[in-house]
Structure 1
Amino acid sequence: MLINELSKKTGLSIHTIRYYENLGMIKGLADEKVKSNNYKHYNNNTIERLEIIIEAREVGFTLAEIKKILTSWFETTESKPETLELFHAKIKEIDDKMRYFKQTKRLLEKVCEKIQNNE
């Protein structure tokens, strides 16, 4: 499929897909027989990769972390422990943020209470 179809299937803009391709996270294949255009074709594996990128971005992974995940998931079998370690680190990061936000929420609630009581 061409990039415009890939864009429609994933909901990502063509610009974003090209950006991920420039980072080496996905790869399109040019038809070597056709010299008149630079069209690249993408397979279903590319959709799967982009879905992983989308989901990983939603939960807070950086692009560098996502690139490691993609490499581990699709290209090697030896770095699965590294990927698991990366996931555990992200879980810890999320837990830390949750603690921080809960603490901030409690503080704001106290301030609101003081304002309501005219203190």
Structure 2
Amino acid sequence: MSKTNLKTRLRLKRKFRVKNRTQKDPQKLRLSVFRSTNHIYAQIIDDANRKTLASASSLTKDFQAKMKTGGNVEAAKLVGSMLGEKASAQGIKEVYYDRNGFIYAGRVKALAEAVREKGIKF
């Protein structure tokens, strides 16, 4: 088994473990994060109604106007603050943090801290 296949399998195990925890209370919103090597994406999802309420990524025009690359910690902080502003404008106060199996460090942690600074609890 290759090393990348093993890493992917382990990430998916963590992802499903977290997702099972978050689906126990479907009334609470979910902040889902995905990171690739070059970009980071985040969205707040209402699982009960199956709708995305707010989203931000390193591919949006607002982000591209401020930064060039989306694969570093500074980019994750900017995406987190953009998402936090959108969420607070809609009156969202509390969410589950779904890190999609990614380890809580680096860009995933920076995005979470930036969203918390905008007043969103998780």
TM-score scaled by structure 1?
0.28
Larger strand proportion, structure 1 or 2?
A: 2
The structure whose RCO (Cα within 8 Å, separation 6+) is larger is 2
Larger helix proportion, structure 1 or 2?
A: 1
